[in-house]
Structure 1
Amino acid sequence: MLDHDNGFFDNSNQRPKSETIGTAWRNEDGSGKTFYVGRKKNSRFVRVYEKGRQLGDKESKWVRFEIQFNYGDIEIPLDILINQGSYFCGAFPICRKFKNMPVPERFDQRKKKLNLTFEHKLHYAKNAVGKLVNFMIEMGFDNSEIVESLKADSGFPKGLEPEKYALEMLRDGLKHGFIHEQPDIDLEIELDELGVIAFKNSDKFDREKRLFSPDYDVEKERKYQEYLSKVYHQNVDYDYF
């Protein structure tokens, strides 16, 4: 907890919240302590707990330090499956304090995935007014009346700029799903009594999972790739993924 108080879990000058779990924090009873940093929905979530004591050995010094990376405001590269230690080391300042750590790698948090932004806005808009739209349809309002009564007088949602989108791309995304899926990655580090460090990926990561379903429209994907190529050659700096 002192490491948290002293800023060793800070990122971008922000200090994530922390939480202690277990009765052993107040009265050492051998049941084991657990320390959380961040929230499970955040891009980084830390679990530190006494693994040996969790398994029943009240004298064990076996501690496990886990970091869960979630897609959202960070882009998780495939390189993390090869260079696990580097991304672990770069996650928080405290990770660089462990012995024999590799050169740290950090995720790029500044790139905003346009597809993800649009899909999120659509999701929350549907939750906000979807049932009202159903009611208006049931009462006999036509589509133009519904749109006119619900749309704002001016402006667009924060983060959505029409000049950065293509109608065909958005329509394909609504029909087939947006191309931004990334796995959530858990990286675990085990520190045993001998100081041996071991990494592993979460058992939830499925290497066989396809980003596209087998019946995905191949022709639509070809046209989409042609569009991206055209944008690239026009030297327009758009980030669609």
Structure 2
Amino acid sequence: MSSAKRSPRPVTRGESTPNQSARVDWLNATFKPGEMTIEGLIVKLSQIMRRPISGVDEGKGIRGYKSSVTLFAHVGSRKQPMGFIGFGGDAQRGTWMVSIPGSGCSLIEAWDEMRDLLEELDARITRLDLCVDFLNGEYTVEDAVAFYRAGKFTSSGRPPATSQAGDWLNERERTLYIGKAQNGKVLRAYEKGHQLGNLQSPWTRYEVQFGSRDRVIPLEALTERDKYFAGAYPVLAELIDSAAEKIPTKQTEGETTLAHLLHHMRRTYGKTIDVLSTVEGFEIASLVEEVRVIGVPRRVNLSSVAAGPTWSGVCDLARKAA
């Protein structure tokens, strides 16, 4: 592993939340516009970014939306693409989408104001990338591999999936993926300096991509970035010395999961239990002791076991399965 283990302070001009190591590198949010217009939204973004923003109607759709406007930030004498607004289309149920990739996020100075805007629009974040740069190689791709092998990315008993990209044999432009984006969370550890053309650069980036599948990404993550970055995987809190805040999945690991287990036990073995009880003469208590195994299923969060399954939750599952 690398000898120096101190996270550098990434430079983010004029950021509104001090002492944050993590920064936003991608933001997608959807909302119903209400009284908002495209022109009004562009004005709001211009105010937040402290620079003129213009939009060009592309005359075509994007990401499932019937129409789209590409956004450009005026940086000095040039116009820099910084995202898009998608709108229209029956499948989108009247929502709009604003998408700001890394090039646009790097220009945003006041993330508290962006959060305020999204709260005003009652928006839902559908993708959020939080990244930390290790400019001098304080933590590397090799370290990410070692952390994984040591189980430091495992948070619920089962290690996340991995994949790789780049030239690993010659140690160039390597990326290690931990988790899967389609499951709602993935970490990318990659050689950012190599990506930008400098093969001698030690600059490594650790980046977590959150998706809205089975989870609600809080707007607070835009301003309290460190704790949500740290909460993505156990080892990340060590890297930036931060308290962690985990974004829970909609199917919680305690009460709901126990209800799921009970529902599927009933569906799979209910008739077997009935036969053993009514035909073979097993008393229910002795039958339970016969099949009981001491312990807690790996999928169940120990801190929430005390809540137990609710019968209403089991009944809800049964109705959905019917």
Normalized per residue, the structure richer in strand is: 2
What TM-score results when the alignment is normalised by the length of structure 2? 0.33
